[in-house]
């Protein structure tokens, strides 16, 4: 019998990506204090990339310790000049994010870890690079007004699948990873485990 699949996340976008690929995954929020974990990691001088991987693993392990089968933990952090960006707290913070990203290239450190019986069994890191065109203050104000509160759920204050497409001149990396889940390598792993037909 193939192992069940659980997503250790409350992320609607990750759930939608799995469902769109035909994965019927349960979803359990891991109840991890991400702010405290990030503060500790940043206090140690940990790279943005390693922070994302550690958080993905922490989420997966927490849920996997009490949930049978394969548990997916994911995390995504935006890195601009080796500085981590967190989700904006309000729309003013979203405007500030966009001003800082304007005319620059940033990396989305997109980590995924699969755990089984509380132990990591597979890890993957995708690192899409996105170049934001120079943005005028007038455009930023209009964009934030149109996109609204949805911007507060993303580290970059954009959603590529919506109005956020207008921000970029160049994107390197796959679409699924930009949305927060490196789906193709994950599906490959599930096939090797017999969780999906090969």
Which of the residues are catalytic? 75
Cα separation, 104 vs 169, in Å, equals 10
**SS3 assignment for the chain:** CCCCEEECCCCHHHHHHHHHCCCCCEECCCCCCHHHHHHHHHHCCCCHHHHHHHHHHHHHHHHHCCCCCEEEEEEEEEEECCEEECCCCCHHHHHHHHHHHCCCEEEEEEEEEEEECCEEEEEEEECCEEEECCCCHHHHHHHHHHHHHHHHHCCCCCCCCCHHHHHEEEEECCHHHHCCCCHHHHHHHHHHCCCCCC
């Amino acid at each position: 019998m193939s192992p069940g699949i659980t997503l250790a996340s409350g992320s609607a976008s990750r759930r939608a990506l799995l469902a769109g690929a035909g994965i019927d995954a349960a979803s359990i929020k891991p109840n991890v204090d991400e702010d405290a974990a990030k503060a500790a990691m940043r206090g140690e001088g940990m790279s943005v990339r390693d922070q994302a991987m550690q958080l993905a693993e922490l989420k997966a392990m927490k849920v996997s310790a009490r949930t049978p089968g394969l548990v997916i933990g994911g995390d995504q952090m935006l890195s601009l000049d080796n500085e981590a960006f967190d989700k904006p707290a309000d729309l003013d913070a979203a405007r500030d994010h966009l001003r800082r990203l304007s005319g620059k290239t940033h990396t989305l450190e997109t980590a995924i870890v699969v755990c089984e019986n509380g132990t990591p069994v597979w890890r993957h890191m995708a690192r899409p690079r996105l170049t934001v065109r120079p943005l005028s203050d007038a455009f930023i104000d209009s964009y934030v007004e149109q996109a609204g509160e949805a911007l507060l759920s993303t580290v970059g204050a954009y959603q590529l699948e919506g109005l956020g497409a207008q921000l970029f001149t160049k994107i390197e990396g796959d679409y699924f990873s930009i949305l927060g889940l490196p789906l193709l390598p994950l599906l490959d792993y599930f096939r090797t485990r017999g969780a999906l037909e090969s």
